[in-house]
C-alpha cells in the first residue's frame, strides 16, 4: 500500500500497525497488534486522533487506553522507578511551562537510566542516590548513553529532582521509608564575576568580524540583556526616539520562544545609554527593513501561547552565503561569536555570560542606583547584585578612593591654627 495513504501518527512495524504520540514531553509508540490493511490504517488513524485529543484535554489514561503496554505497571508488580518518576512528572506538568517540561523530561529520563527503569522504587536505597550522584559527576556511562561527566551545579540539579520524587513517593505511600535525609548535595564554590575592563572591551570589539557582531556585543555589554533575550530581540520592541527597549521574549537552547526568565524580567523597559543607542542605530541600517516573522511564544501558563510579529534585530543570515542559518540567532551561536572574538583579541578567556556581568559591574562602579540596575537586568530586587557583584572592579578602585577623598574633604571641620609667638 502507498505510504501516502498512512494517516499521520500511524506507522508500519514488522508488518503490523502502531501509532505514535507525544505524552508528558516524550514520544510514545504503541503497537496495535493488527496487520497492515487499508481498513486498519483508517481505524488506527482514528484511534490516534482520539488519543491526542484526550491528552490535550487532560483526560488521557495510559492504563485505560493501552492496558497491555510495557509502560503500564500492573498492581501486583509494584511501583517501578520509571513509573514513579513518570507519575510525579505527570502531576508536575500542569504546574510548569511547556519549555520547563522538556527540561524536566530530559532530567527525569537520565535519572531513570541511572537507577534502572524496571527496578522497584522500594528497593532503591540512599546509597544508590549517592552512587548516581558520583557517577554523573565522574561521567560513568549508563547503557552507553552518558559519555561525559557533568558539572557540580548540573549534578546537584539532577539529585535535587531525584530527592523531590522520592519524598513524593514516601508522602503518597509508594515507598515505606524516606531515603532522602542522608543524601548530601555536592559542595559548590562561589564563582566571582570576571567582567571586562574598558581596555579589554575595546580589544574585543576591534576583534569582531563584522559590523553586526560589533553592534551585538556593544548592545549586550551596555544593556545587560540575557543572550536568549538578545537573540529574540525585534525592532518592534525598540523605540529609538524615546531611547527605550522592551524585553518581551527569550529563545531557549531548544530554540523555543518563551517569555523572559523571571516575572520581573518580562516586559521590562530598558533605558538605552548613548553607546547602546549608537549600536542600534548602526544595526538599523542592516536589518530594520528585513523580513517580518510570526513566532509562537510560550507563556508561563501551561498550554498557553501568543503570536508575536518580529523583525529580528540580529539576523544570522546577514553575510551568509547559504542563507540557511534560521530567522534569528540562538544562545549557542551568539556564544560562538564571542569565543571567536575573545581568541582573536588575545585577552583572557571568559565565558560569554560575562557580558552581563560586565554591565552590572560597570554600572555599579559608575555609582548607579542598585535598584535601577536590578530592574534593568530583570531582577525583582538588588539582593542578587549585593551577593554576586559586591566587590568593585579592581581597575576602578582608585577612582572610588578619589571620590571618597573628595567627599571627606568637603566635610572636614576647620581646625584652629597653632598659636604663633612674635618676638
List, by residue number, the catalytic residues: 226, 261, 356, 379, 389
Residue 2, judged by CB atoms within 10 A of its CB (0-12, 13-18, 19+), counts as exposed
Task: Dig out the grid coordinates for 113 from the structure.
Answer: 537510566
DSSP character string of 137-179: HHT--STT---S---HHHHHHHHHHHHHHHHHHHHTTSSSS--
- Cα 136 to chain centroid distance, Å, stands at 20
SS3 category, 120: strand
Task: Dig out the grid coordinates for 355 from the structure.
Answer: 557580558
Task: Dig out the grid coordinates for 29 from the structure.
Answer: 509508540
Of 282, 217, 220, which Cα lies nearest the Cα of 247?
Answer: 220
Within 10 angstroms of residue 419's Cβ, the number of other Cβ atoms is: 5
Strand-pair partners of 238: 245
CA distance 347 to 332: 21
What backbone torsions phi and psi does residue 302 show, to the nearest 5 degrees? -55, 125
Q: Do 240 and 217 touch, CB atoms closer than 8 A?
A: no
CA distance 290 to 170: 56
Amino acid at each position: 500500500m502507498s505510504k501516502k495513504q498512512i494517516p499521520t501518527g500511524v506507522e508500519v512495524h514488522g508488518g503490523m500497525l502502531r501509532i505514535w504520540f507525544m505524552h508528558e514531553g516524550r514520544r510514545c509508540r504503541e503497537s496495535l497488534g493488527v496487520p497492515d490493511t487499508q481498513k486498519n490504517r483508517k481505524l488506527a488513524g482514528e484511534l490516534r486522533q482520539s488519543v491526542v485529543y484526550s491528552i490535550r484535554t487532560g483526560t488521557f489514561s495510559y492504563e485505560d487506553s493501552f492496558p497491555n503496554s510495557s509502560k503500564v505497571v500492573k498492581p501486583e508488580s509494584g511501583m517501578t522507578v520509571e513509573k514513579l518518576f513518570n507519575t510525579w512528572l505527570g502531576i508536575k506538568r500542569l504546574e510548569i511551562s511547556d519549555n520547563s517540561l522538556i527540561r524536566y523530561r530530559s532530567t527525569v529520563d537520565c535519572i531513570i537510566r541511572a537507577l534502572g527503569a524496571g527496578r522497584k522504587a522500594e528497593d532503591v536505597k540512599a546509597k544508590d542516590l549517592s552512587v548516581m550522584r558520583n557517577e554523573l559527576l565522574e561521567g560513568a556511562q549508563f547503557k552507553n548513553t552518558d559519555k561525559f561527566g557533568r558539572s557540580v551545579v548540573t549534578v546537584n540539579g539532577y539529585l535535587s529532582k531525584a530527592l523531590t520524587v522520592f519524598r513524593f513517593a514516601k508522602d503518597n505511600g509508594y515507598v515505606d521509608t524516606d531515603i532522602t535525609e542522608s543524601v548530601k548535595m555536592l559542595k559548590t564554590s562561589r564563582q566571582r564575576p570576571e567582567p571586562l575592563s574598558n581596555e579589554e572591551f575595546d580589544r574585543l570589539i576591534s576583534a569582531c568580524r563584522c559590523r553586526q557582531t560589533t553592534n551585538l556585543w556593544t548592545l549586550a555589554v551596555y544593556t545587560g540583556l540575557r543572550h536568549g533575550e538578545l537573540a529574540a530581540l525585534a525592532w518592534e520592541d525598540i523605540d529609538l526616539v524615546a531611547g527605550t527597549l522592551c524585553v518581551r521574549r527569550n529563545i531557549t537552547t531548544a530554540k523555543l520562544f518563551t517569555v523572559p526568565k523571571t516575572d520581573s524580567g518580562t516586559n521590562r523597559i530598558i533605558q538605552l545609554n548613548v553607546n547602546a543607542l549608537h549600536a542600534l542605530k548602526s544595526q538599523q541600517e542592516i536589518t530594520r527593513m528585513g523580513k517580518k516573522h510570526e513566532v509562537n511564544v510560550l507563556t508561563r501558563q501551561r498550554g498557553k501561547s501568543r503570536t508575536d510579529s518580529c523583525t529580528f534585530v540580529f539576523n544570522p543570515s546577514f553575510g551568509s552565503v547559504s542563507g540557511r542559518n534560521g530567522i534569528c540567532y540562538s544562545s549557542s551561536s551568539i556564544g560562538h561569536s564571542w569565543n571567536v572574538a575573545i581568541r582573536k583579541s588575545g585577552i583572557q578567556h571568559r565565558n560569554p555570560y560575562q557580558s552581563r556581568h560586565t554591565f552590572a559591574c560597570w554600572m555599579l562602579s559608575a555609582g548607579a542606583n542598585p535598584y535601577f540596575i536590578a530592574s534593568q537586568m530583570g531582577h525583582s530586587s538588588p539582593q542578587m547584585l549585593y551577593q554576586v557583584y559586591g566587590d568593585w572592579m579592581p581597575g576602578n578602585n582608585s577612582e572610588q578612593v578619589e571620590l571618597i577623598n573628595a567627599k571627606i574633604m568637603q566635610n572636614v571641620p576647620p581646625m584652629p591654627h597653632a598659636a604663633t609667638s612674635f618676638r
